[in-house]
Amino acid sequence: MTALASVVMPSAVLRRIFGVENPDVAARVLTRHWGLLVALVGALLVFAGYRPDIRILAMVVGATEKLAIAAFVLATPLRQRGLLMMIVAGDAVMAITYLIVLSAS
């Protein structure tokens, strides 16, 4: 849910995580949208913890989102940003955990 910080203070998130000092309007809007989507996927995963009928689909969505951001970052010079790589590593661990649980289902 910390991704919601992107919704309320996109410039600060862009500066701290991505190193963007003066984001334009488009970057701020996309950052807000990204933060909201990440928070919604997180909320979906929490909800799926109580609803076995949607659990598999929610975990597939969550794993896909987390692996995609890892791939996108690793394919760019952004991989040199320490804080961003910690986020990517955390996301990758979560995605792998989802995939392990899914394979056991």
Question: Of 91, 71, 84, nearest to 15 (Cα)?
Answer: 84
pLDDT along the chain (105 residues), means of 10: 90 91 93 93 93 93 92 88 87 92 86
Q: What does the domain layout of the chain look like in residue ranges?
A: 4-104
Provide the pLDDT for residue 59.
Answer: 92
Provide the pLDDT for residue 18.
Answer: 86
Provide the pLDDT for residue 13.
Answer: 93
Alpha helix (H) residue ranges in 1-105? 4-8, 10-13, 25-48, 52-74, 82-104
Provide the pLDDT for residue 51.
Answer: 95
Provide the pLDDT for residue 44.
Answer: 94
Provide the pLDDT for residue 79.
Answer: 84
Provide the pLDDT for residue 105.
Answer: 77
